[in-house]
Amino acid sequence: MDKLAELEPLWDEAGFADFLKGLAEDDAPRLFAIAHEYGTRHDGWIAAWGMAFRDRAEVVSTEGDFRTSTQSPDSALAMFARMAGGEDVKLHLLWLTPPRS
């Protein structure tokens, strides 16, 4: 017989839902974007979306044709800077969610 089936629940359904929500909120990745600036604030474009986990960043291009896992959002930004080329392109790391407290 399953040992977990023999145990009494620690919470009611609402309490357990709150527990799971807390786990998700504690471990939720921060969302960010990598933007290109052309010229000096003449034009811009979002090149990629990312999720910053505690130990890595997962990034996908806005066109969906490039995905990568990097050590951090800053290393993703550096990678996209190398791929951007051109002297008139400046890249920005834009945080879309606040830091965890």
Give the model's pLDDT for residue 7. 82
pTM: 0.81
Q: What is the pLDDT of residues 48-95, one digit of tens each?
A: 999 999 999 999 999 999 999 999 999 999 999 998 877 789 999 999
- Nearest one of 14, 5, 99 to 52, comparing CA atoms: 99
Q: What is the phi/psi pair of residue 84, to 5°?
A: -70, -40
Q: How confident is the model at residue 101 (pLDDT cuts 50, 70, 90)?
A: low
Asked whether residue 40 carries a pLDDT value surpassing 70, the answer given is: yes
What's the rounded Cα separation, in Å, for the pair 92 and 85? 14
User: Do residues 48 and 62 lie in contact, with contact meaning Cβ atoms separated by under 8 Å?
Assistant: yes
